[in-house]
Amino acid sequence: MGRDVLLIEDEPNIIEAIRFVLSRDGWNVQTHSDGRGAYDRVVDLRPDVVILDVMLPERSGFDILRDIRAGKETAALPVLVLTAKGQSKDREMAESLGASRFMTKPFSNNEVLATVRDLAGP
């Protein structure tokens, strides 16, 4: 049985890298490339894990994370926040909004895979 990941990211090279490493491990990877409509996509797909970029067109990942945590059906969903900005204020913002994990770019594919596996649980 495959598990589902929704990757909300706008950089094609990052999308391809994450899709490749997770698909090879048996994950079904769906993508969404801008902030508009991202929360609706989360609700529609009900993935096991969301990987969420902070810097997105239309709406920020922080806004989307706020929506996910406020939603009755999505509040407990594991969310891995990715950002190119490694500043501590971004990490603090992600944690205060309820991010399950936080990872800065560039990251290793193995690190993403291990984190997604861990977030999804047994």
Chain centre to alpha carbon of residue 86: 16
- Domain-by-domain residue ranges, the chain? 3-116
**Which CATH number is 3-116 given?**
3.40.50.2300
What is the pTM assigned to this prediction? Answer: 0.95
Q: What is the pLDDT of residues 47-92, one digit of tens each?
A: 999 999 999 999 999 999 999 999 999 999 999 999 886 678 888 9
What is the spatial distance between Cα 37 and Cα 19, in angstroms, rounded to a whole number? Answer: 20
Residue 30 has pLDDT above 50, yes or no: yes
